Chain A
């Protein structure tokens, strides 16, 4: 009986770990870390999927690796160890995409190696993977990775719909729609993200009141 309860608790815990990155501590709209790729990549919704996917991969691989060896890393050298591991997996992703999906690689451009300094990864490793067992680390990484991805797709989606009239490549606006060119430019990125964050603030405050 007790072991059954323990199993359910474990699953609940894992599920909770997964959920946190999705909304409550969503790094794009709530905590605001890992900003650079957020603005640069999101001219199209599909780019959000590419960048989010790459980041998710690095989150999971480095998170798991560090979680496995977490007890062996003396506190003094944890930064170099984390950085080396993250940089290694980013390099792997870089080569893999360059070889097999050159279009994705080109779209991500310099922001692919910049995943190394994406504060999101370091933050999750520092706060979680370096201290938690692999099960929980995995779900934490998964949640934050997917949370990052959907935020990018949303931002990219808004910019794509308004800037090109399409979403994920499919025409969604009527033919008479005049694309709002500024959405394709840096200006559009900044303003859209600013407004989306404000929107999220409103939503969170509304839920708090009720």
Chain B
């Protein structure tokens, strides 16, 4: 057989083999990968950005996380392969615990926040998870003025922690990433 034809033939076959094997691999494992990487965070991000999204974690530039406070994860959110925004996970020390929050950022604005984890005082500090508090962040610019957000009565330290943490680190985030 002509060597060139054989070369082309074998290359094509190998490419088909590779594409087939990899498609199968992708289809088999992708769901599981998304879940193990993002778990319940994906659902929460979907609350901000809608359901038709794909997530990609990006490496955090150094120096953004020190002594239990800072940006712990940056998740790029894309819809049909256009980047539409980010989910930024910020840790900040509260009254009794490190508060972990998810902030949805799009076009220089905060779409919303969700307090993911905290062990603040039940009934007082733990109220920071309430929508009445977190909804205040919706639509704020990434460089919002801390005074624009009201703290929760009886939970000043915890709510200030959320406000301070987000104010400080989202502005750093938007400077470094956007």
| A contacts, CB < 8 Å to B | 69, 72-74, 76-77, 80-81, 84-85, 87-88, 91-92, 95-96, 98-100, 102
| B contacts, CB < 8 Å to A | 3, 6-7, 10-11, 14-15, 17-18, 21-22, 25-26, 28-30, 32-33, 36-37
Q: Which residues of B contact A72 (CB under 8 A)?
A: 6, 10
By DSSP majority rule, is chain A's interface helix, strand, loop, or mixed?
A: helix
A77 touches which one: B7, B30, B32 (CB < 8 A)? B7
Question: Contact: B21 with A88, CB < 8 Å?
Answer: yes
Alpha-carbon distance A148/B36, docked complex (angstroms): 30
Alpha-carbon distance A87/B22, docked complex (angstroms): 10
Question: Contact: A92 with B37, CB < 8 Å?
Answer: no
Question: Contact: A74 with B7, CB < 8 Å?
Answer: yes
Q: Which residues of A contact B25 (CB under 8 A)?
A: 91-92, 95-96
B33 touches which one: A77, A84, A88, A99 (CB < 8 A)? A99
Question: Contact: B21 with A100, CB < 8 Å?
Answer: no
Question: Contact: B11 with A92, CB < 8 Å?
Answer: no
Alpha-carbon distance A77/B9, docked complex (angstroms): 11
Given contacts A88-B18, A96-B25, A99-B33, 18 further A-B contacts (CB under 8 A): A69-B10, A72-B10, A74-B6, A77-B7, A81-B10, A85-B14, A88-B17, A88-B22, A91-B22, A92-B21, A95-B25, A95-B26, A95-B29, A96-B29, A99-B28, A99-B36, A100-B29, A102-B37
